[in-house]
Structure 1
Amino acid sequence: METESDGEDCGGPEPARNSDPDTHLQPKTDDKTGESSEPETDDSDDWTETREPQSGLNSLKNDKVPVRGLNGSKKKLYSCSECGKKFGHKGDLTKHMRSHTGEKPYSCSECGKRFSRTGHLKKHMRTHTGEKPFSCSECGKRFSQVENLRKHMRTHTGEKPHSCAECGKRFGQRGALKMHMTLHTGKKTVSCSECGKGFDHKGKLKIHMRSHTEKKPFSCSVCLKSFMNVRRLHIHMKSHTGKSCFSCSVCQKSFILKGNLNAHMRTHTGEKPYRCNVCMKSFAQSGTLHNHMIIHTREKP
């Protein structure tokens, strides 16, 4: 049974926690398009498009609502006939209507994939060109999208904006929190096509599939022993150093991984953060919950 250890190793510099993530966003100076987490605006040339909406969507006609501007002059708002959303420019309404019609007038010249906005096409093109205009000021790693750089910066700042409502554990990425929540619910979202075994996320299924193919792509540089996943390799590597740098403040027992120490501490605190969503019984370890769920599902471990 695998533990729930997070694989955190000892040593290495602590992340700077007083950094402002946005100060590290460094696109190339010649990148005039830029990116932002705000809703993007396409080139003004697109505002002149007059494609007819599909299946009776006539919001581009006669739905002009006059209002007073700041200088007292009348300003026309263009209203969507489908959802009622209003726009100050006809071009903005034209682009919005594509969310109703499904129209995607911009296509990639490389693979043919279509997009509703030019900005989305520009982002996509970087997957073909390999362009990565956004770089991390801490480690120099480069990214094609500014939002990916913002997520990466949390590894340096230590920012963890997403927290678990059950146990309070915090995460830097929303996906990591979603994956963690399955430990509390015991929900298995994916299953093996070979043996039917269920898993709470795709990463575990991918590792499990190697048990059928006997693929072990990660090997130890000291003894050449191979492993199915990199986490097991990292744990194994410490068997050569014999170093255990996480110790219990109550009984002084030492652990190689911080996650194992966290799990051990519950034997002292009595904390049971993992709860069965069928009978509401709580457990200190995720593995114990996993075994318990078999009682309800009648699945073999």
Structure 2
Amino acid sequence: MRHQALHGAERPFSCAECGRGFCDRAALATHRRGHTGERPFACTECGKTFAASAGLLVHQRRPHACGDCGRRFRQRAHLARHRLAHTGERPFPCGECGKAFALSATLLRHRLVHTGERPHRCPDCPRAYTQSAYLAQHRRSAHTGQRPHACPDCPRAFADPSLVEHGRRHTGERPHRCPQCHRSFRHRSALLRHRRAHAGERPFPCAHCGRRYSRSSNLLLHQRVHTPQ
């Protein structure tokens, strides 16, 4: 509801540089820093500066940064586990299919694919999930309408922790960098899709004709060829 109200809201505060309109002066001030290069929000620990307060908050909540991709973590132990993704080490193999994982917890979640088990059931509808976090997100968005993660720089709010990624729209941060061409992305998922182009990976096959695609969205578009209108 809060986000939908944004579409119909008046935007009386316009940027003199580009003409873009905003609901309040604070949002306009944050936007104008993109033109001026001003970064008034500084981290007291390391001195890094940000154009928007949201960027500083994200930085302070996750002080441990990965030197390879820039992804940040609250705890040093979480960073150490993440770095296994860069080293390629996968010491936990699945006994059913042989697929190996960097983390034992990831292996346990993967094994639910073989068992079909979805132990986390919604008490309000028949939906069930493999992880409690997915159930919590489902209940907030589908049943309670709660959006506890509010953006400090615009009226948007979120049911899940995607506020962190949304905040990068205000800060301009693109922490996920391709090691081959150095192009950077806001979201890790976008980087993974991009890297498939370098590797030539096409992990999404069509069940009708076997043609393969690098993105699931492209596969869905292709499948319309096989679906009678």
TM-score (norm 1): 0.39
Greater fraction helix:
2
Higher relative contact order (CA 8 A, sep 6+): 1
TM-score (norm 2): 0.49
Larger radius of gyration: 1
